[in-house]
Amino acid sequence: MKKRIIQIDEKPPFLEAVPLSIQHLFAMFSASVLVPNLLGINPAVVLFMNGVGTLLYILITKGRAPAFLGSSFAFIAPAGIIIAAKGLGYQYALGGFVVSGAALCAVALIIKYFGTKWIDVILPPAAMGSVVALIGLELSGTAASMGGLILSGTYTQIDPKKVAVFTITLCVAVFGSVLFKKFLSVIPILIAIITGYIASAFLGIVNLDAVKSAPVFAIPNFQPAKFDLTAISIILPATLVVVSEHIGHQIVTGKIVGRDIIKDPGLDKTLLGDGLSTMLSGFCGSVPTTTYGENIGVMAMTGVYSVWVIGGAAVLSILISFFGKVSALIHSIPDPVMGGVSFLLYGMIAASGIRLLVDQRVDYGRSRNLAMTSVVLVTGLSGAFVQVGKVKLTGMALGAVVAMLMGLIFWIIDKFHIANDYDDVTKDEA
């Protein structure tokens, strides 16, 4: 039976929209709250600003680019350096976030006036599909680690309870997406999380201490940004990672929903939405935002692309930021549960990259396509890195940079008729 598709501008009935929005909320919650916990700030302000940023993004893109804006991991390392630095602190990291958001807005302005044709030049299909696949493949290790499948010690240290919960959750998500009927077929992730939570409770790995101690009602802890050139210089290079990630996310989202989001509403508008959200988060004491792969995976799996549903998740994120016990209850979902659903969601993103290669009919009989895909994938998965100031470019970000450089070099080769197969290239492109 063909999967039911809920299009970007479609508004589901309220009773359907609520669980669909909760599904998106659960998908983003674990990773988004992890960032403020690592930086030692109140998660409530982050949940509030993520919701506000997502609504702002939907407004700027005129509801034509579904995405949830969650906490960016790209800034954890540089922000940690600033927090630990003598004479600085988190408020100076906030100033860096504001400037980084402004840089994203500047890139959006450049794209508005110079267009996006350069993307086709520096990211041909053989590179683009590989970069998209890397987004999911790079994150897959995190999901496996959350499920207790990756350990630094010996095999005997694996916790069978965690593996059991991971497996149960993953199986419900996988088989539910295939076997569930009617409305249940669009909420397999939500059902998998609930099932995994119940299994965790039976196995005794749910800890509710934080729920008991959390306040019923709490005001997010807003704090102003402070600016320092040293702090800004440490934060700013991470913007490159976000730009690379953003372009990859828009490409894969476009493939999932069947629309060219790069052209409509336009990469300039999506980057502007991301940039303004990051600036606003910096001014209010939160963390930078980015389009979330987990929510892209939910769309790919469920066929629900509605911005009304994602907007509902944003409203829920804002609401629970004021209710400490609700936030703590969601946060009590064990890692193996989130690892189980993330394992599938990240795989869906990687599969979207492969689908892009197939849809574009990339010819691997041509050496340049084979070389480009090979180098990009190996670069992204090998653990290789390049240090830019205080920021380490690795994984998908480094793979995207390498892909762009290779695309540009091959374009120059074609432009000046250097390649022996130039005539064949021209025929293919014609």
Nearest in space to 341 (alpha carbons), one of 6, 43, 24, 21: 24
Per the domain annotation, does 350 fall within a domain?
no
**How many domains is the chain built from?**
1
Q: Residue 130 is encoded by which pair of tokens?
A: 């590989």
Cis peptide before 334 (omega within 30 of 0): no
Per the domain annotation, does 142 fall within a domain?
no
Per the domain annotation, does 76 fall within a domain?
yes
Q: What is the pLDDT of residue 391?
A: 66
Q: What is the pLDDT of residue 374?
A: 93
Contact 53, 69 (CB under 8 A): yes
Per the domain annotation, does 429 fall within a domain?
no
> What's the burial of 359, exposed, middle or buried (CB within 10 Å: 0-12/13-18/19+)?
exposed
**Tokens 């794209």 -> residue:** 111
Q: What is the pLDDT of residue 107?
A: 92
Contact 58, 76 (CB under 8 A): no
Q: Which domain holds residue 85?
A: 14-123+148-335
Q: What is the pLDDT of residue 425?
A: 46
Per the domain annotation, does 357 fall within a domain?
no
Written as tens digits, the pLDDT of the chain (430 aa) is 456 788 999 999 998 999 999 999 988 887 888 788 778 888 889 999 999 999 999 999 999 999 999 988 878 878 888 988 877 889 999 999 999 999 999 999 999 988 878 777 888 888 888 888 887 888 788 888 888 777 655 555 778 899 999 999 999 999 988 887 878 777 888 899 999 999 999 999 888 888 888 888 888 888 999 998 988 988 888 887 788 788 888 988 988 898 989 988 999 999 999 999 999 999 999 999 999 888 988 998 888 999 999 999 999 999 999 988 888 888 888 889 988 888 888 888 888 888 888 888 889 888 889 999 999 999 988 888 887 666 677 787 788 888 888 988 988 888 777 765 544 444 444 4
